[in-house]
Structure 1
Amino acid sequence: MKIATWNVNSLNVRLPQVQDWLQQHSPDILVLQELKLDQDKYPAAVFQMGGWQTVWSGQKTYNGVAIISKEQPQDVIVGLPALPDDPQRRVITATIGGVRVINVYCVNGESPDSPKFQYKKQWFEALTEFVRDQMAQHEKLILLGDFNIAPTDLDCYDPEKWHEKIHCTSIERSWFQKLLDLGLTDSQRHRYPEEVMYTWWDYRGAMFQRKQGLRIDHLLVTPALRDSLQDVQVDLEARAQERPSDHAPVWAEFAL
């Protein structure tokens, strides 16, 4: 089973790239973040005509998440139960092929002294509670998407420059660790403990060409999936296209 995540930074702009990627890689599951489309503007028919099933939670201008899969998603949950009034569309969960898939576009937080950082803290607490509950119900579970956290200095091109800056603060890294403490494994680091694997590069300053990025897109898995993990890769070719997202797709292959 091949499962992938991609922050597309506007599906309206990147739809042809997503269609091409689906055709070329044929994943069993592809989750998307930052759709930036209203619920009724999501191109479900385009994917369905290509033979794909899809569920989504859209939001104009910001946020928005979707799951695209070969099999029909079951038992879909939108949002986080602990934040029922949150207007931001950041989470969609479904079971596909016996795997519980939690697709997240985690809060950016802007800066450690911003009110948005307090929202990020509250949001991660709600996410951790939700994942704990879902893990109690599903042996095979994957939590994946754009976490907006670089877990260690290895995941940052210049740790000194980024020290205690957004994405790299000690407290954000502690939130990420709390997810791992639930019993999840960082699939990329499980497979490649010391390898540089950035997934996001700022548009400014030719950062992709200079190979100066952050690893903020993750695939966290329960032991049942960890034990069947075969490989994890970042698709740099997708990031090298014209008018790319600032994120690259990340995919994992499981012997399921």
Structure 2
Amino acid sequence: MIICSWNINSVRMRENLLLELINSLNPDVIFLQEIKCQNVEFPSIEGINKYNLVIKGEKGKYGVAILIKKKFEFQEINFDSGIFQSEARICGLKIKNNLNLHLINIYAPNGNPVESKEKFTFKIKWYGELHKIIKELIDSKTNIILAGDFNVLEHPDDVQDFDRWQKDALGHISTRKKFREILHSGLTNIVRLFYNPGEIYSFWDYQKASWERNYGLLIDHFLLSPKLSGIVEKIFFEKEYRNKQKPSDHIPLWIKLSI
């Protein structure tokens, strides 16, 4: 089973790249973040018709979606309460199989500037609410795949000059603590099983020739519950997608499970 995650940074602007990814990888499930469209505006392109869609859209910004092959029977998870109501940043589904697999796709708030109590406080509260949900699922022995754009620099080597990021919302100690609370609930960060910190990035800014200088950040992750982390065969970062025409500033990453 192949599950892919990608902050596509506008699905309508990059529907050709999404189609290319579908045709080349043929993933069973695709998590998309920052789709930047309402549900009804999600493009109907060739290749998507073999997927069912779970979309949490918003006009012009944010937005997440899960594409899942029609062979899977599933039930959508409702996240329309509390802090998750205000912005379209989370969606999920339960696959009805012997694993009772819960898939949760997130686009975490950026939180900058830190001096803005409104934005940074929202990010910390959002992470706190996510932690509660994940802990409840883990405590009930649920099999979870939590993936997406976490907007956090968990390790100092997830960027080349971490010192200057410690006052940024991505590298701030409060953000990193919230991310680790989720990990300590009982999830495994799959990237760390296959790569040492500093070996791989998932995001390169459009500005300051970041791609050309390989000035990247690792902010996209797959976090899995114990039973699932033991059946991951590989994780792969589709780095060439950052070099495509009109690319997203993030690249797709995917895992292969032996199920």
Q: SS in structure 1 opposite 2:157?
A: helix
1:53-202 equivalences under 5 Å are: 53-70=52-69, 71-72=71-72, 74-79=74-79, 81-83=81-83, 86-96=85-95, 98=99, 99-114=101-116, 115-137=118-140, 139-202=142-205
Q: Tell me if the contact between 1:79 and 1:92 (Cα under 8 Å) persists in the aligned partners.
A: yes
TM-score (norm 2): 0.92
The equivalent residue for 2:29 is: 29
> Quick one: which amino acid aligns to residue 54 of structure 1?
L
Q: Tell me if the contact between 1:80 and 1:126 (Cα under 8 Å) persists in the aligned partners.
A: no
Change (3 A) 1:131 1:17: same
Q: Tell me if the contact between 1:81 and 1:130 (Cα under 8 Å) persists in the aligned partners.
A: no
> Quick one: which amino acid aligns to residue 119 of structure 1?
F
How many residues matched? 254
> Quick one: which amino acid aligns to residue 127 of structure 1?
L
Matches of 1:238 and 1:132 in 2, distance apart?
34
Q: CA deviation at 1:205?
A: 1.2
Q: Tell me if the contact between 1:57 and 1:78 (Cα under 8 Å) persists in the aligned partners.
A: no
> Quick one: which amino acid aligns to residue 111 of structure 1?
P
Matches of 1:83 and 1:138 in 2, distance apart?
25
Q: CA deviation at 1:48?
A: 4.2
Matches of 2:127 and 2:80 in 1, distance apart?
10
The equivalent residue for 1:42 is: 42
Q: Tell me if the contact between 1:93 and 1:103 (Cα under 8 Å) persists in the aligned partners.
A: yes
Q: Tell me if the contact between 1:151 and 1:176 (Cα under 8 Å) persists in the aligned partners.
A: yes
Q: CA deviation at 1:195?
A: 4.9
Matched, 1:238 2:241: yes
Gaps of 5+ in 2: none
Q: Tell me if the contact between 2:7 and 2:248 (Cα under 8 Å) persists in the aligned partners.
A: yes
Q: Tell me if the contact between 1:54 and 1:68 (Cα under 8 Å) persists in the aligned partners.
A: yes
TM-score (norm 1): 0.93
Of the candidates 211, 216, 237, which is equivalent to residue 214 of structure 2? 211
Matches of 2:202 and 2:45 in 1, distance apart?
29
Q: Tell me if the contact between 1:142 and 1:220 (Cα under 8 Å) persists in the aligned partners.
A: yes
Q: Tell me if the contact between 1:186 and 1:221 (Cα under 8 Å) persists in the aligned partners.
A: yes
Q: CA deviation at 1:164?
A: 2.8
Q: CA deviation at 1:83?
A: 2.8
Matches of 1:241 and 1:45 in 2, distance apart?
19
Matches of 1:48 and 1:244 in 2, distance apart?
20
For residues 91-144 of structure 1, give each alpha carbon's deviation from its aligned partner in whole angstroms, at most 9, with x where no partner exists: 101123542100001111012211200000111111111112233445321100
> Quick one: which amino acid aligns to residue 112 of structure 2?
E
Q: Tell me if the contact between 2:158 and 2:197 (Cα under 8 Å) persists in the aligned partners.
A: no
Q: SS in structure 2 opposite 1:161?
A: helix
Q: Tell me if the contact between 1:65 and 1:90 (Cα under 8 Å) persists in the aligned partners.
A: yes
The equivalent residue for 1:16 is: 16
The structure 1 segments of at least 4 consecutive aligned residues displaced by more than 3 Å after TM superposition are 44-48, 136-139
Q: Tell me if the contact between 1:53 and 1:72 (Cα under 8 Å) persists in the aligned partners.
A: no
Q: CA deviation at 1:43?
A: 2.3
Q: Tell me if the contact between 2:107 and 2:148 (Cα under 8 Å) persists in the aligned partners.
A: yes
The equivalent residue for 2:227 is: 224
Cα RMSD, aligned residues only: 1.7
Q: Tell me if the contact between 2:210 and 2:216 (Cα under 8 Å) persists in the aligned partners.
A: yes
Change (3 A) 1:75 1:134: farther
Gaps of 5+ in 1: none
Matches of 2:233 and 2:196 in 1, distance apart?
14
